Chain A
């Protein structure tokens, strides 16, 4: 069960053909864990805002970009679309988020569900919303995600 670990920062994505433990910490951010049970690989993103608004670089900080990117990445590593399953986490409403970004967690969740639906990817399980942050560990070989609630985090 010993395998390398990767800490995923907000705005980054990670996927590999080798088994990994991918960990991240989520507040209002959402992480989509994609898993291919056939070839036993997985990948994760961690986005902060739902939609790229055309400002700055089109990075996976934004849900619409991050989700497409992680799907592409898994396909590039040899997964076929019909095998890919998703588990989604995060999107808590943590008080003292930016004032002009109301309901950011809610909107992050919505975009994740919408895009996965559009792309015909089944959501196997999820842990979303609420008021607490989450710490998750994704085993890319078994597809198992362990979650623990944590205190205030962005």
Chain B
């Protein structure tokens, strides 16, 4: 009788793991950036960032529309899209990378490095980002921050506006994932 119960529970576990998706998704990830200078502070948020994590390979992919960043002032939005990012020519920014030494089955918070490539304006740079990953009953929350150097992405800022824009831009992100049912 005991053997039958053990066998049944193993089978149920196997079926369960077979049905469990290895991928999680968010369509409403949040990415914010901040530029702090003595002249002015510029801040923008994008709340419609797409990200998929594949736990079978611990790979992460992120994609966002540059024109979906919301600024406090319309002039900032205009400069960002038309002059700096040129979002008509380069509408998306993407990131592809791997979460190093991550155990998706461990509950609670893990601090891990994510290594990968960030592409803005068709220019790709290697980045390494310290992230906090929280597993709450199979839903995952990934948060973190890092800096990008404006010059790395060949963003041209007119000399008259140079004092208004920081040379290093702080980026913050927050992704709350759900199982991805294809």
Q: Decide if A and B are genuine partners.
A: no
B positions within 8 Å CB-CB of A: none
